[in-house]
Amino acid sequence: MITLPMPRTPPSTPPKSRLKVEARRFWQRVSEGMEINQLWSQFAKDARSSYHLYSAGLAERAEGRGFHRWWAVAKALFWAIIEKLSPARRVLLLLALILLFFPAGSCTYAGKAGNVSFELHLQIWGGLLLFVVLLLELADRVVMKRDLEIAKDIQAWLLPGAPLQIPGYQIAYATRPANTVAGDYYDVILRPGPASSDDRVLFVVADVAGKSIPAAMLMATFQASLRTLSSSRTSLAEMITGLNHYACSNSQGGVRFTTAFLAELDPATGDLAYVNAGHNAPILRRGSGVVERLEAGGIPMGILENASYQVDTKRLAGGDYLVIFTDGVVEAMNAKGEEYGEAELVRLVDRQAAAAPAELLRGLLQELDAFVGNTPQHDDVTCLLLKRA
């Protein structure tokens, strides 16, 4: 007769241990695994961003001195907050605030069965109304976030993927939107010629005036126009003229202008024809250490339909570095209100002139992160690097 061992009953978890596990699991879900210092850093960044949003224009509205000035600032801040709500939510918020500061009291009802007394805790109803306003605002935020994520995916699809492989050259690029979607655009487009020796490569970095959704929509229009023009056998001068016509038709009278830098490379010779439409002048660092700025061009696109643009040419030699960037790079600001600056960017390129573009770009982004810290940034950061071996 074979005797089977009895199955072991697993020891039950003590209630206190189970409570700790559940509490830890709850905290992990709430914090998404972030440490306390990371949560505080995120809160500080959000707080600064919200402060800039609500405090815009307060200094202009504040008049007088002492108590009168502080009263004017408080009143302006109150209206800055409440005007961002819909009228119905404003009424709910005001009612909630009134109830929160209403003192608790008791009420006596005289009936046939005698007097009935009950207490009124209006603060509870005020808190519930505040919670209702929060839920309504949260629902709007969730819907908007979902739409922005879709827009972000579409925008990422419009930007180039892996860098184009050009024998004898190295390319790297990256962008960081200040918001979910960006108004910056970059692209590297191969323009095939009749023979492989006639192939040209188009480099583009553009910055649409404005932020978020409006700028992203204009960026998509610019991308479609650029792709259409680059697919035909147009010269760089004809291309920038055509892009300016497109931009003028969508610029709302010059309000939504676009700065851009376009360069067409002949890989065989290293000749680089370029035009700068009001953009930050790219840095061309020669292998010898000499720094040149590519400034030839004209005004931003979308301002004047009949604007003329000058096309200039440079020749890239071995070891030459071309750094194309948007103003979000050099105007990145730290907590002291100091900008990163073009001089610091030039020094970084000098220090890492022997590095590959991907390595230099990684170093630039790390240096920007260390410089700005938790300070909210109000402009997109985009950089495109080209190096001839």
The domain locations on the chain are 154-388
State the pLDDT at residue 331.
92
- The amino acid sitting at 219 is M
Structure tokens at 129: 């109304």
pLDDT for 109 equals: 61
d(C-alpha 178, C-alpha 374), whole Å: 13
pTM higher than the cut 0.75: no
Query: When comparing pLDDT for 14 and 269, which is higher?
Result: 269
Lowest mean per-residue pLDDT among 89-103, 139-153, 278-292: 139-153
Q: How far apart are CA 167 and CA 148, in angstroms?
A: 38
Integer Cα distance of 28 and 35 in angstroms = 10
Query: Quick check: 56 pLDDT over 80?
Result: no
Confidence at residue 349, expressed as pLDDT on a 0 to 100 scale:
95
Predicted confidence at residue 66, as pLDDT, reads 66
pLDDT at 71: 80
Higher local confidence (pLDDT), 252 or 140: 140
Tokens of 239: 């291309």
What's the confidence (pLDDT) of residue 75? 79
Higher pLDDT pick, 263 / 78: 263
Residues 328, 380: contact at Cβ < 8 Å? yes
More confident residue, 30 or 229: 229
**Core vs surface per residue 231-255: b (16+ CB within 10 A) or e:** eeeeebeebbbbbbebbbeebeeee
Examine the pLDDT at 265 and tell me if it is beyond 60: yes
Stretch among 66-80, 275-289, 310-324 having the lowest mean pLDDT:
66-80
Task: Grade residue 321 by pLDDT with cuts at 50, 70 and 90.
Answer: very high
The whole-number average pLDDT for the span 35-44 is 79
Confidence label for 215 from pLDDT (cuts 50, 70 and 90): confident
338: tokens are: 């100091």
Residue 300 has pLDDT above 80, yes or no: yes
- For residues 181 and 212, is the Cβ–Cβ distance under 8 A? yes
57 compared with 285, residue with greater pLDDT: 285
Q: Which of 248, 250, 272 is nearest to 262 (CA)?
A: 272
The per-residue pLDDT for range 323-374, each reduced to its tens digit, is: 999 999 999 999 888 999 999 999 999 999 999 999 999 999 999 999 998 8
pLDDT in tens, 159-184: 888 888 999 999 999 998 887 777 88
Q: For residues 78 and 52, which has the higher predicted lDDT (pLDDT)?
A: 78
Fold of 154-388: Phosphatase 2c; domain 1 (3.60.40)
Percent of the chain topping pLDDT 90? 39
pLDDT band at 2 (very low <50, low <70, confident <90, very high): low
pLDDT at res. 156: 76
